[in-house]
Amino acid sequence: MNTEQCINTHKNTYEVHEDDYSRNLQDKSSMTRDNIVKTLLLFSIPLILGNLLQQMYNTADSVIVGNYVGNNSLAAVGSSAAIINLLIAFSQGIAVGAGVLVSQAIGANKKTDTKKAIHTSLAISLLLGIFLTLVGFIFTPQILKIMKTPTDVMNDSITYLRIFSLGLVFNVIYNMEAGILNAVGNSKRSLLYLAIASVTNIILDLFLIKSLKLGVLGAAIATDISQVVSCILALYFLIKVKSIYQVQLSEIKLHKNTAIQMIKVGLPTGVQNMVISLSNVLVQSSVNVFGPTIMAGFGVYMKIDGFNILPVMSLSMASTTFTGQNYGAGEKERVKKGMWTTLVTVLIYTAITGTLLLTFSNSVMTLFTTDVNVIDAGVSAMKYFCPFYFLLGTLQALAGTVRGTGKTIPPMVILLVSMCLFRIVWVQIVLPYFNTIENVYVLYPISWAIGTVLMIIYTLKSKWLE
């Protein structure tokens, strides 16, 4: 299905309420007045499903490459995730800043501020997207060499990353569009567009990899096209919607004061994401020295890991939006109750998924490959990750709530200390003396535990709601 067909198919769904401001009040009411548990869950479910769909079409590349190409290509696709996350990490942080400003403006009924925030965020995403596309395409070989990528995987890795980088501009813009939709309480839209993109990617993967035998090149092209589809669909909706958050192409520009405020709020999260992603690149480099088999097994599990982490991140994002709107409306007690609701939800979710993954670990790995050694490597990683996801869930639930008040620096510092500084020290000091893959895996739960303890202390002891 091409982009034009997708737009025509869903054109009728773009008809919305005629009264701009009444729609805004409806969105506001659902966040600041309705039952907290119901509001958070109803808002979170589309976010969770959307992120799972996004992870599914990213995972489809690995599944199809692993089954129809080979282990070296599977290793190339899997090990590229850390670099891709590094490239888009800063833009994701700015998207958080934009979401906070939009949600707070909605909560305070500030129509002009809402429009400025939306159009400024799109202008920033366009500039960042173009920059990242150029960086990714030009510097891919140098980055892969720094990461100690094995020579037998290098060519496939360069091909995949370079072609993938051509679609980064659409990826960045879509993430900002989805952030806008989520911030105004319309998370179902981002779910719809990700569903379309996911189906598009899987169909193209099968056609380009299985039928045309394009290997990792086909996987990258399929991902790029699906990102273009979701980006265009979301933009089309934002242009056509009759509401306070309608986008006018002529108004997409940098409003100076709004841009400064957005960067001020989003910069800590952006820097945090970049540095954490950089630490993950260092971890991936440590994995790469163990060869293509371990790379493939670890890369496969990182795809599976996304199905656990992304819903947790979705709940954290929902908490940020819920907090932003209620904080803007002066409803501080609802902010506290929303935090506890999010915390209980992530603990239940991580307990269930961690147990299921450990129980069916071999079966899950065989979806990607039949190579026994690769399967064993992935199952080994599960044993170090799955029992401890509740720590990551607690950390993200609390951090998401605090960010919604506009205080993004404390969560940034805590996450940098636990998920970056600690991991760098571990890789540089511990691994040279105890150089086993198990000692790479174990640094994840330890870093989660450190971050969780620090975040709990901050939440209990500081005056973050003042």
Q: Which residue blocks in 108-214 are alpha helix, DSSP H?
A: 111-146, 151-165, 168-183, 187-205
**Proportion of the chain above pLDDT 90, given as a percent:** 45
Q: How confident is the model at residue 19 (pLDDT cuts 50, 70, 90)?
A: very low
Mean pLDDT of the region 390-397: 95
CA distance 84 to 231: 18
Q: How many domains does the chain have?
A: 1
Quote the pLDDT of residue 7: 37
Rounded to an integer, what is the distance from CA 231 to the centroid of its chain?
Answer: 15
Mean pLDDT of the region 112-124: 92
Quote the pLDDT of residue 189: 87
Mean pLDDT of the region 150-176: 93
Quote the pLDDT of residue 22: 38
Mean pLDDT of the region 8-25: 38
CA distance 60 to 171: 17
Quote the pLDDT of residue 311: 87
The 8-class DSSP code of residue 428 comes to I
Q: Is residue 398 part of a domain?
A: yes
Segment holding 280, helix H or strand E: helix 256-288
Q: Is residue 110 part of a domain?
A: yes
Quote the pLDDT of residue 17: 37
Q: Is residue 466 part of a domain?
A: no
Q: Which residue has the higher pLDDT, 51 or 244?
A: 244
Structure tokens at 329: 């409306």
Quote the pLDDT of residue 4: 39
Taking phi over 0 as left and psi of -120 to 50 as alpha, with beta for the rest, 156 belongs to alpha
∠ CA 143-217-297, nearest 5°, is: 65
Q: How confident is the model at residue 261 (pLDDT cuts 50, 70, 90)?
A: confident
What is the span of the domain harbouring residue 29? 3-461
Cα–Cα distances in angstroms (integers) from residue 188 to residues 3, 49, 197, 240, 342, in the given order: 20, 9, 14, 16, 19
Mean pLDDT, the chain, whole residue set = 85
Least confident of 23-27, 243-247, 273-277, 443-447: 23-27
* Residues whose CB falls within 8 Å of the CB of residue 41, separated by 6 or more in sequence, listed in order: 345
- The answer to whether 330 touches 33, Cβ cutoff 8 Å, is no
CA distance 203 to 60: 10
Quote the pLDDT of residue 30: 62
Q: Examine the pLDDT at 253 and tell me if it is beyond 50.
A: yes
* Residues whose CB falls within 8 Å of the CB of residue 20, separated by 6 or more in sequence, listed in order: 242, 243, 244, 246
Place of tokens 């960045």: 172
CA contacts within 13 A on the Cβ side of 443: 27
According to the per-residue pLDDT averaged within each range, which of 24-28, 58-62, 80-84, 423-427 is highest? 423-427
Mean pLDDT of the region 244-259: 91
Q: Examine the pLDDT at 294 and tell me if it is beyond 90.
A: yes
Q: Examine the pLDDT at 40 and tell me if it is beyond 60.
A: yes
Quote the pLDDT of residue 57: 66
CA distance 78 to 466: 44
Q: Which residue has the higher pLDDT, 375 or 87?
A: 375
CA distance 28 to 106: 7
Q: Calculate the dihedral angle through the C-alpha atoms of 378, 384, 386, 388, rounding to the nearest 10 degrees.
A: -160
CA distance 384 to 364: 16
Least confident of 182-191, 195-204, 389-398: 182-191
Quote the pLDDT of residue 32: 74
Q: Examine the pLDDT at 248 and tell me if it is beyond 60.
A: yes
Q: Which residue has the higher pLDDT, 98 or 187?
A: 98
